[in-house]
């Protein structure tokens, strides 16, 4: 009798601290458990220190950690790697360094939203990220489909309070709605909370509609995209082109990277 195949293990890389942001980590794992198909297991991992200073330099530091984690995940036998951070720093480098499927929260949510509405609007967690997301949209070739990027202003402790306190949740929600309305007035049909924190926070509202526009839960989207990537790999043998953008790094290149403590 043939032995049953093992469950597929997917490394979900969050950019929050695994202990300090426990309310987020626990809720994220629960959402992924509920979303996962039979035979799929998402395992949430955090960063220490987390992405908490909201600056490109911090994003760069987190990217270096995430690249190392992706290489470790592949060597540990994980079947796919999810960058669960909308800014997805390190996405290009990781896809070029590992052979397991790599799915980014920002890219995947943007592409899925295009099938749900003609024009998109983004609301990020802090004004410092507006320029980052505008460049991210252009890098994915989607600038003609994005009406605009706006921002609420909530720090990590503020989000943690909103997960457990109704008054704090209502305050963050009201700020979010205030930023969404000008985007909808300008033509946005789908709204993307540009970050895992607001995506998970608003996941309780199903569906979440503001002035007729759908607010998309990208965490659910990226979970299903990761599962699809695994299925496509089984059916076709690959999910990435090695010509050009995602050319495979040599073994020497990878070992040189791992030899440094970033």
Does 156 score more than 90 pLDDT? no
The mean predicted confidence, pLDDT, of the chain is 94
pLDDT digits (tens, 9 = 90+) for 50-95: 998 889 999 999 999 999 999 999 999 999 999 999 999 999 999 9
Total domain count for the chain? 1
Reply yes or no on whether the pLDDT at 198 is more than 60. yes
The parent domain of residue 42 ranges over 8-236
Strands 146-151 and 120-124: parallel
pLDDT one-digit tens code per residue, 227-255: 999 999 999 988 999 999 999 999 999 99
**Cα dihedral across residues 71, 45, 193, 64: positive or negative:** negative
Q: Could you tell me if residue 168 is inside a domain?
A: yes
In a domain, 229, yes or no: yes
pLDDT band at residue 3, thresholds of 50, 70 and 90? very low
Half-sphere exposure (CA, 13 Å, Cβ side) for 5?
Answer: 6
Q: Is the dihedral of CA 188, 207, 231, 82 positive or negative?
A: positive
| 248 inside domain | no
| Partners of 190 in beta bridges | 120, 214
215-231 confidence digits (pLDDT tens): 999 999 999 999 999 99
Question: What was the pLDDT predicted at 2?
Answer: 42
Q: What pLDDT does residue 4 have?
A: 53
Give rounded-to-5 percent helix, strand, coil for the chain. Answer: 50, 15, 35
CATH of residue 112's domain is 3.40.50.12500
The angle at the Cα of 201, spanning 197 to 204, to the nearest 5 degrees, equals 150
pLDDT tens digits, 31-52:
999 999 999 999 999 999 999 8
> Whole-prediction pTM value?
0.93
244 within domain boundaries? no
């Amino acid at each position: 009798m043939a032995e049953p195949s093992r469950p597929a293990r997917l490394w979900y890389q969050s950019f929050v601290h695994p202990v300090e942001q426990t309310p987020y980590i626990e809720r994220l794992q629960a959402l992924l458990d509920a979303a996962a198909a039979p035979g799929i297991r998402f395992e949430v991992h955090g960063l220490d220190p987390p992405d908490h200073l909201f600056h490109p330099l911090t994003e760069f530091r987190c990217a270096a950690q995430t690249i190392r984690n992706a290489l470790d995940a592949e060597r540990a036998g994980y079947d796919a790697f999810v960058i669960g951070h909308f800014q997805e720093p390190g996405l290009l480098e990781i896809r070029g360094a590992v052979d397991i499927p790599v799915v980014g929260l920002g890219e995947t949510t943007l592409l899925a939203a295009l099938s749900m509405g003609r024009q998109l609007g983004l609301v990020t967690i802090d004004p410092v990220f507006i320029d980052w997301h505008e460049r991210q949209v252009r890098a994915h070739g989607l600038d003609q489909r994005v009406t605009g990027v706006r921002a609420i202003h909530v720090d990590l402790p503020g989000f943690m309070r909103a997960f457990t306190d109704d008054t704090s949740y209502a305050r963050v929600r009201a700020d979010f709605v205030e930023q969404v309305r000008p985007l909808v007035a300008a033509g946005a049909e789908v709204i993307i909370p540009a970050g895992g924190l607001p995506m998970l926070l608003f996941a309780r509202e199903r569906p979440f509609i503001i002035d007729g526009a759908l607010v998309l839960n990208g965490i659910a989207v990226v979970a299903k995209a990761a599962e699809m990537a695994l299925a496509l790999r089984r059916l076709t043998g690959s999910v990435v082109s090695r010509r050009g953008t995602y050319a495979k790094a040599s073994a020497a290149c990878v070992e040189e990277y791992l030899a440094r403590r970033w």
